[in-house]
Chain A
């Protein structure tokens, strides 16, 4: 049930890092969506600083590998477009690669019903110096809308911080339906939803992603045709 969507998208995931002197520091997850080297991630993990961003390919996730990478090969990416209003960023690999992408990548959020099976992918413990790619399964728990109109998908697994920026994929049609943002905080005003703050004491086993439609809009504006 989960292996097909997981297998489909493992090759799309990259560690998003920033170059600092002779090192790179981990920021979160990003994922490929176009054969010309375009990636998506959550805008907030770039924190408005578009300089020195790079991506790193993980080990082959189908092979057993060590928890931490000592040294990594990183490729520069440029921030092509961001929508901080909806927390989406489009990146582009600065070097040319021969990239093949599967068909049918982007899904329709409007068609999702509560209880739909989901998987999300990313690097959960990147902030703790562990660089394994992990797949989580969940179901769609709720569809909510922020005060500014942004559509969010709540799902019933607790994502770790390193998975932020990764794809949320519908199991049934194996298409991306959201970009993972973080954990849900059940406080009166919506917590980090609306204020941009995150209180660990309020973390729950629920997480949320922003609807993929905002990324689709950005990609359309770039004249990128994605099925």
Chain B
């Protein structure tokens, strides 16, 4: 019943503000590329003398892991299928439909999303490492707001960042739990319904909460590393057991088609088609990435000290994007292969049940039982690590940049994330999740555009000549005639005449 309000809400925001999301992410991508090739690219995060905290190999591995998440598992199979059977822009044949399906998928998961993360990560890293500000969203607006960041404006920015992150993470958790439910349904015949999903949210949030309270950071880190390995194992399995040559050919071709069509599809607003396809796809994705940006941005910032801005932006734009493209090609092209050359019917099955899509694909490959279980484990693991680290990022923002916030506060946010995810699922399912993220992403998109100006100003002041500024607080100095005097002799005392000479007062 309540769910009925979400589709109109999503449609209303997307229809009226979709153009703004499209414009915003393109501005951000162009801005990031401009900074990368500008003279600011030579600035080293942490100062000229800073050494990278992590080796380039480790840093790449961390960026690589940042590129992974629940979304890839949820949409990796489903999205290309949706675009293939329902091409956003009319096409002549199914080859073009397949090209377009992969190009739109790449666009949604590619350079634009990582430009959004790179922007906020760069701002956090620069203002924190080079300007000595706390790691908080409000402080990156200092060049524009000055001391007002400590007042109402700063509070507003942090509140918007907190809400965006909360709903961004809750949306991912909502997707995750739907997929876990689908996995259990596929494996054990468990019913796919809201009740089961709520129970799953409670159990997994409890695990994440325990890790928050007990400070199992090391455990979570190990789980996260294991998780990436399991995900890569799944990727490798599908690559080998699936249509390997089709995937290898497709990888390069998909990237080429994406780059060729990038300006067209990334600026497309359905103006002349007068359709609303983007509302539940492109607009949702842009809002989702924007909502996730404080979360991913803070992680990237924390591991990137010692890199030059050029190195940083190239790494953040290219490494996770390529990982995502690889994932999407392996899963998306395999799905396309089944649909185009495997007798058909696959796309229909996938689009009828998105959370089940991964398992439908694995069903067509050998060792289905094992790989489906592996898939569920990876989603659960992503769920726990996302909930844990998502609540940590919100904690840091709400604690004014304190990297070690009090435990009750972490507890509060960890539980609230689960509650929000559950509430959204109960009240409207997928539409509710999408509506929430679009609604909370919109104001934060405005914040990100303003951030471009703030970062540019901050970088400009940093690279320009800094000067001393001395202003009297009140009153004027006393006036005197000034006269010359004798020149005093130079004295270096031969022996240290302690205390009475050294310390006055």
Binding site for B on A (CB under 8 A): 4, 7-12, 15, 17-20, 22-27, 32, 43-45, 47-48, 50, 54, 56-57, 69-75, 78-87, 95-104, 126-129, 131, 146-148, 150, 161, 173, 181-182, 192-194, 196-198
* Interface locus among B207-215, B300-308, B464-472: B464-472
State A71–B481 Cα separation when bound (angstroms).
5
Pairs across A and B, CB under 8 Å, 9 listed? A12-B468, A22-B480, A25-B482, A44-B488, A71-B479, A72-B480, A73-B479, A84-B491, A198-B490
- Residue B503 CB within 8 A of the other chain: yes
Q: Is the interface of A mostly helix, strand, loop or mixed?
A: mixed
- Name the residue on B nearest A148 (C-beta): B494
A129 touches B483 (CB 8 A): yes
In the bound complex, do residue A9 and residue B488 qualify as a contact, i.e. CB atoms below 8 Å apart?
Answer: no
A159 to B465, CA, bound (A): 25
Question: Chain B contacts of A194 at CB under 8 A?
Answer: 492, 494
Kindly list chain A residues whose C-beta atoms are within 8 Å of the C-beta of B465. 4, 7-8, 102
Q: Told that A25-B482, A82-B501 touch, could you supply 8 new A-B pairs with CB distance under 8 A?
A: A8-B465, A17-B482, A23-B480, A26-B483, A71-B481, A95-B472, A99-B469, A102-B468
Q: With A and B bound together, what is the CA distance between A8 and B462 in angstroms? A: 12
Contact B482 A69 (CB under 8 A): yes
CA–CA, A167 and B139, complex, Å: 33
Partner of B502, one of A10, A83, A87, A192: A83
Contact of B484 among A12, A25, A173 (CB under 8 A): A25
Q: Are A82 and B484 in contact (CB under 8 A)?
A: no
Choice from B47, B462, B477, B492 contacting A75 with Cβ under 8 Å: B477
**Using a CB–CB distance below 8 Å, which chain B residues touch chain A?**
47-48, 130-131, 462, 465-473, 475-497, 501-505
Asked if A146 and B492 sit within 8 Å, CB to CB, the answer is yes
- The chain A residue sitting closest to B492, CB to CB, is A87
Q: Are A85 and B492 touching (Cβ within 8 A)?
A: yes
Residues from chain A with a CB closer than 8 A to the CB of B489 are 44, 192, 196-198
User: Known contacts being A84-B501, A102-B468, is A74 close to B478, with CB within 8 Å?
Assistant: yes
Complex CA distance for A71 and B131, rounded to whole angstroms: 39
Determine the chain B residues whose CB is within 8 A of the CB of A192 once the complex forms. 489-490
Q: What are the residues of chain A within 8 A of B477 when measuring CB–CB?
A: 73-75, 95
- How far is A65 from B182 in the complex, measured between Cα atoms in Å? 80
Cα distance, A182 to B467, chains bound together (Å): 26
Could you tell me the distance in whole angstroms from the C-beta of B147 to the nearest C-beta in chain A? 11
Decide if B467 touches A98 in the complex (CB within 8 Å).
Answer: no
Alpha-carbon gap, A107 to B27, bound state (A): 40
B481 lies within 8 A of A85 (CB):
no
Contacts of B473 in A (CB 8 A): 95-98
Do A147 and B491 have beta carbons less than 8 Å apart?
no
List the A residue with the shortest CB-CB distance to B467: A11
Q: Which residue of B lies closest to A4 (CB)?
A: B465
* List of 9 A-B pairs having minimum Cβ-Cβ separation, nearest first: A102-B466, A11-B468, A73-B477, A25-B485, A196-B491, A100-B469, A98-B471, A23-B481, A192-B490
